[in-house]
Structure 1
Amino acid sequence: MPENNFPKLHNATWPGVVGKGENAEPPISFDTMLDMTAAAEVDGVKFDGVDLGLFEPHFDINMSDDDIKRLADKVAAKNLNIGSLVAPIWGGPAMGSKEDRAVFVDMVRKSCHIGQVLRDLGVRPYGIVRIDSASSPQEWEKNPVENSKLIVQTFQEACDVAADFGERLAAEGEICWGGMHSWRVMLQTLEAVNRPNMGFQADMAHTLLYLMGYNHPEDRVLPENFDWNDRATLTDALKTMTKALRPWTIDFHVAQNDGTVFGSGSHDKTGRHCQALDPNGKLDIAVDAGHWLRNENGELTKAFRHICWDGCMFPNEVMLKQQTWNDILATMIKVRQMHGWYEPEGAVVVYTI
């Protein structure tokens, strides 16, 4: 049997920006992130691509088509593809004023245009555009019903715009985003949006905190004072959450978490992304990824054609060591070996919403 070659393995470039600046460490340039990704290699296997955060200082969301072409050429020169894109929607909260929400939708429009051009150039064969509510759980809790209505309306408008570009939107499940800060609230938001091109982005570091009820204790799944050595209870909790959210999941981040929250720079406290081999990590990464990549019967869903490592808010000293990315790649390879599949290279796959 040939070795699994799907899902494709990507690295995120936005950890060079997220949590940096504003009294924190300086950002790491896009070129450096790209170089570190391209240089990683484990037993002859390399990363297949990168996912991009379309925000400064890495990118100008108003970049011209010529700029997009230069970006495509730069990434392709490293023998990498581009996958999912993060829309810079934080200047316009999804539950904000009419003007705020218009800014949000416009950022999605610009991101989808970039995504479409990259597809047309042949460097982006798969991937989604990621969004969140750009709103805090504390603000959401002041009026959950009305705020959820606004978020749903904004997401629906964004989905309609994205459909014009043949794009899908994935809402990031993270405890720092209002209306998305618990697994059950996230599910309710997705169901209310009810658009064929609306889905969920699961990040293993963030969704672990869903189980602990941070920012929404009533939806806690793990018991209080949970003993992390109790793998059976953790597995049952993961199964409960993934059963609900897996049918919506169209984008997936492999990550590790030590069961705590963390924030730096301008980024609110959220799931702590740990290094792949962190001894304090609470997840068995390759095994636990299977709860998202396989259904209840153990069958592969093949719901997305690439997976991405997200290591936000690692210290720069860590991020500038090549071994860090080799360890991450090795972990990604284990996930693919356990939950991947083989397709002949060059097989035609139709990109649809």
Structure 2
Amino acid sequence: MRLSDLRFLLAWLLPLLTLYAILYAPAQAALWTLALWLAIALADAWVPGGDRSPGPTGAPDNSPYFRWVLRGYVLLQLALIAAGAHMAMQADWLTLLGVAFSVGFITGSQGITFAHEFGHSKSKFDRLCAWVLMSSVCYGHFMVEHYRGHHPRAATLEDPASARRGESLYRFLPRTVWGSLASGWHLEAQRLAQFRSGWLRSPLAWSAIASLMPFLLTALYFPAPAAIKIMAFLATQAVVAFLLLEVVNYIEHYGLQRGQQDGRREAFGLMHAWNADHVLTNSMLANLQRHSDHHMHAWKPYPSLAPLPGPQLPTGYAGCLMLAMLPPLWFALMHKRLDVLQPRATPTP
């Protein structure tokens, strides 16, 4: 293992800082989160050399260090949600919403990212970790839709998680949230029918139950005023988390489209996903921004992903999240890049 591989321990920095803010300054937690978000975006954009991450590690793909960096995060997320629920129970409503935003920012930006990585693992334990993380944000269908829906259909009109050229983030979000939910349950129903199995043997069904259990137990165990606040916190952090996921989905394939010939999709290539090699966000997000290589080699572990010379984002994901929220600015930056990629990335009318 190289010294530079220690950078992946930054995955623990944001949840630890957020946990500290929730416990010791809950009223300012949302401001802490916004300040950290802005600081990461500025670092990606302005730190000299910050747009180049170290190359793929030379360590074996099954190196325990890389696995346990992400596995350790699972405990941090559960602690973060528990701490947030405890503080929400005794907080005023403005503080509650701020705490929920802070927790949801972590469970969405990092928790779902690491669940995504776990889900691509061949380890049953890692896939269980993925289900735990996705159940904690009430988005278990991602575990079906992403692997059996998004990966085969990415950068096509059939994929609800691929944004089309000229489609604003605010038009995209309703389409992808509903489309991914419907597709995930439909794909799972198809799988169960194929294997002549019932819903009691479906991890998606059990994930849905696991997502509901904290709400049910809260309603049964706590008096009404506290229960309402805890459930409001749990629901809000989940909504923030999965909306953050879908904003990232918007960025990852925006305006890129695979061709079709004789009813068959073009093989996924390096030109069908946007990439960014910014060291800070790649370290915190398990190299998610090396997205072309991930789609082309879905089972490749995150330390082995390589920067490919495909379409490049104007900055890292932290900054692109902000840009995507301003459609005119996003279109101005991205459409120039899409035009350069012609004719390989034909815009969708």
The alignment's TM-score, normalised by the length of structure 2, stands at: 0.31
Higher Cα Rg, which structure: 2
Higher helix share: 2
The alignment's TM-score, normalised by the length of structure 1, stands at: 0.31
Q: Which has the higher contact order (CA 8 A, sep 6+)?
A: 2
Higher strand share: 1
